[in-house]
Structure 1
Amino acid sequence: MSETHSASPSDLDLLTVRQLKTVAGPQPQPYRVHVQVEGNLVKETSQGKPYHDIKLTDGTESLTWRVFDGSPLFLEAQALKRGNWIELGAHWVDTGKFGMEPRNPAMRLLDDQEVQSLLAGDEETRERQRVDYQTIVELVASMNDPRLRGLASLFLQQHGDRFKRAAAARDYHHARRGGLVEHVSQMMRSAAKICEAYAELNRDLLLTGVLFHDCGKLWENNYPEGGFTMPYTLHGELIGHISLGMELVNKLWRQLIESDAASAWATLQPQSELVRLHLLHLVGSHHGEMQFGSPVIPKTPEAVALHYVDNLDAKLEMFRKGYSTSTELGNGILERVRPLTSNLVRPLEVVVRNALENHRDEEGAEENEN
């Protein structure tokens, strides 16, 4: 790959893809990004001319770079393989129809130090995921049932590193390295608050169900230690994350029951076998309907709560993404984000109490002057 075309202008600020999507607009904006190649497909225009459809990611978001045969970088683009690491500098334009496009692009390969820095994540994402993982650890420690607390702790001990790399999905929501930790942490926070409002819910069971509901995605939607390109696996394709999750719960449960601590649980109520079955039901029913992949529908209060907490967090993440990346169609109206079924409308601003008091003070001052 030629280095002649590859040297990006040194005066361009380095952004994450997520940051780039928030600042790109109809006017060209000069920036550069460090990314990994997720895929490089050869397609044809309506006139039958070839072009490269290159998917790029930096772990925060993905973008598509279309390189047509008239581009001076066409040969370099042709040589790009899945897994390559590059810097792409350009004047970025968001055309609306095709999303962001790099004008006058310049490209080069990243060196090893730059690759390691990119894998570590941008500071904002790294700190958010650190806090989210610590929240999970603390909520697990707060459980009263020693069996569920032990099971959750064993999962974090044995699979914590893999958990931190997993995505919550390939598309749609939390579809990024570490996204599963973000998703589970927010769900556990929500579940803990719901249990305060609905005291009849089994808090320990619901929190454990949240932790394990997508644990099969550690194999279905995981990233390698050294990359952002999510591979497809036979386990994920042939079994799926719900079945994988139920299998993992059973495997860890057997280890737990065979531990020295388990002898003290013989007289605990409810019985351990009943606890295991209820937890498996939460994992198996969390999609809510059989047509969406669950082998059984929710049949307990905790299973219903888990399903709705999961759906709520996924939907709100889609809204957050849409507000930052979707094309504005009108005043406060943005283009829909799949799989949401309609265009988005910007939310109503929150009235801050201090601002309200200041407004009243200003009104009072005006009345006194009059």
Structure 2
Amino acid sequence: MAELLVEQIRPGLNVRGVFALKSKRLLPYREAPGHFLAVTLVDRTGEVEGRLWEGAEEAGARLKVGDIVAVEAQAVAYNGVVQLCIDSIVKENGQIDPARFIPSAEGLEEAKVKLQQLIDSLTNTYLKALLSLLFSNPDFYQAFCLVPAAAQYHHAMLGGLLVHSVGVAAAADGIARDYPQADRDLLVTGALLHDIGKVYEYRCRGAIEQTDEGRLLGHIVSGALLLDRYIARVSDFPEDLRLKLLHILISHHGRYEWQSPKRPKFLEAALLHQLDLLDAQADMFSRAAAGREDKDSPWTGWVKGLDRCVYCR
């Protein structure tokens, strides 16, 4: 019996698969003593409800939300939707591939090539040396290419940070031609660096999770600390350039109410904030339109991150 993804499950199938445990509830039987376990199981293709009728108390005690679980079950139709009648559910302790549970961004290999092209294009030797040093760290580079740019709203998928950062940097490269008074190398470098703290803010297993550091410090603080450590490793790095880079990073959210410690105070910082917002919103609008449930309607439902419905025609 092959392992199935959620999108492959149909009523009548015997199901074996590995899923992330999104939720669990121990509920009482309506007309008999005892409890059953109601769970929501997810992978990168969707989610499915499941019910464990025997051994519910024991399973509910040993499993926790976020666990990766191996499940054997029968798929049935209940109230018009697929539901799993679970025979066994156990925690999976082997090697976990996050790509089974979290969708991956498109164009990752192209984004890696574009990242290197942008670094190679810099003429400022200090900025080029800084980026080369940072991205030559294999642990950092692997994390930068893996983690999402957000947990929910934009580029919330594996590789999302890479795609978003390169997208903002490519836009920065383009807009610098229209605003020649801006320092193109500073703007492109700031774009590539603005979210680097997210390598410490998120971890990915069965879902996108926020780390303790992410909760306590946030990616702006973590990113500024990381950036300053690497600047210190570049010989004779100019102090005014250091301050500008750090300001770009800590001001890129643009507003105090958006958890930005500072508002942008020079042109490149102001441009970076707008380009970051532009790339994030372009992704949210595009994904809202592509993911709308009623394909016959030109309107999506309410999109929380945009605080509106989206017109798709």
**Structure-2-length-normalised TM-score:** 0.78
SS at structure 2 position matched to 1:295? coil
Contact 1:135 1:185 in 2 (8 A): yes
Contact 2:19 2:68 in 1 (8 A): yes
SS at structure 2 position matched to 1:328? coil
Q: Per-residue deviation at 1:90?
A: 5.4
Distance in 2 between residues matched to 1:195 and 1:33, nearest whole Å: 53
Q: Per-residue deviation at 1:86?
A: 4.3
Alignment-derived partner of residue 322 in structure 1: 288
For the pair 1:156 / 2:135, whether they are aligned, the reply is yes
Distance in 2 between residues matched to 1:286 and 1:230, nearest whole Å: 23
Map of 1:280-291 to 2, 5 A cutoff?
A: 280-291=246-257
For the pair 1:222 / 2:203, whether they are aligned, the reply is yes
For the pair 1:331 / 2:293, whether they are aligned, the reply is no
Contact 2:99 2:158 in 1 (8 A): no
Give per-residue Cα distances to partners, 1:21-55, cap 9 Å, x unaligned. Answer: xx99xx98x9989654153332669x898653425
Give the alignment partner of residue 155 of structure 2, picking from 166, 170, 174.
174
Map of 1:67-78 to 2, 5 A cutoff?
A: 67-68=50-51, 78=60
Which AA in structure 2 matches 1:221? Y
Map of 1:1-370 to 2, 5 A cutoff?
A: 7=1, 20=7, 36-42=19-25, 52-58=38-44, 63-68=46-51, 78=60, 81=64, 82-86=66-70, 101-103=81-83, 118-119=97-98, 125=104, 128-158=107-137, 159-223=140-204, 227-257=205-235, 262=236, 272-328=238-294, 331-347=297-313
Distance in 2 between residues matched to 1:234 and 1:185, nearest whole Å: 27
SS at structure 1 position matched to 2:25? strand
Contact 2:23 2:39 in 1 (8 A): yes
Q: Per-residue deviation at 1:186?
A: 1.4
Which AA in structure 1 matches 2:189? T
Give per-residue Cα distances to partners, 1:227-285, cap 9 Å, x unaligned. Answer: 3444443321221110111111110000113xxxx4xx7xxxxxx11111111111011
Distance in 1 between residues matched to 2:222 and 2:149, nearest whole Å: 14
Question: Which structure shows the bigger proportion of residues in helix conformation?
Answer: 1
**Structure-1-length-normalised TM-score:** 0.67
Give per-residue Cα distances to partners, 1:57-99, cap 9 Å, x unaligned. Answer: 33xx6x4433346x7997998575533254789589998xxxx
Which consecutive unaligned segments of at least 5 residues does structure 1 have?
1-6, 96-100, 266-271, 348-370
Distance in 1 between residues matched to 2:75 and 2:106, nearest whole Å: 28
Contact 1:52 1:77 in 2 (8 A): no
Distance in 2 between residues matched to 1:94 and 1:205, nearest whole Å: 57
Q: Per-residue deviation at 1:106?
A: 7.4
Which consecutive unaligned segments of at least 5 residues does structure 2 have?
none
SS at structure 2 position matched to 1:132? helix
1:331–1:156 distance in 2 versus 1, CA, 3 Å = same
Provide the alpha-carbon RMSD of the alignment: 4.0
1:43–1:132 distance in 2 versus 1, CA, 3 Å = farther
Q: What count of residue pairs does the alignment treat as equivalent?
A: 301
Distance in 2 between residues matched to 1:299 and 1:338, nearest whole Å: 30
Q: Which has the larger radius of gyration?
A: 1
SS at structure 1 position matched to 2:23? strand
Q: Per-residue deviation at 1:289?
A: 0.3
Distance in 2 between residues matched to 1:31 and 1:204, nearest whole Å: 57
Greater shift, 335-344 or 229-238, is seen at 229-238
Greater shift, 311-320 or 134-143, is seen at 311-320
Contact 1:41 1:54 in 2 (8 A): yes
Q: Per-residue deviation at 1:331?
A: 2.8
